[in-house]
Amino acid sequence: MSFTEEFKITGNNIVQKIAEILNEGNIRRLVLKNKDGKVLLDTTLTIASIGGGWIFLLSPIIATIAAIVMSLKEVTLEIERID
């Protein structure tokens, strides 16, 4: 079973928030939307408790997210978690 959480975040805090969420683990899907609800990034992940190595494995995704949100003032981050 899974559930979804949504966070409204300003562009300059998005990378920090994603790192925080990924550190909690059990993420199945990550969706990034602009303020109008248009999907900018939709990626499937399977992150459980794999220790500190996740940041190395996900650095390309985090860099892509950072590049997308640099010009945005507000984004919505939708996280689907595995229960």
pLDDT digits over 46-56, tens only? 654 444 555 55
53-60: which pairs have CB atoms within 8 A and are 24 or more residues apart? 54/22, 54/23, 55/19, 55/22, 58/22
Task: Please state the domain count of the chain.
Answer: 1
CATH number at residue 41: 3.30.1490
- What is the pLDDT confidence band of residue 6, given thresholds at 50, 70 and 90? very high
Domain enclosing residue 68, as ranges? 2-82
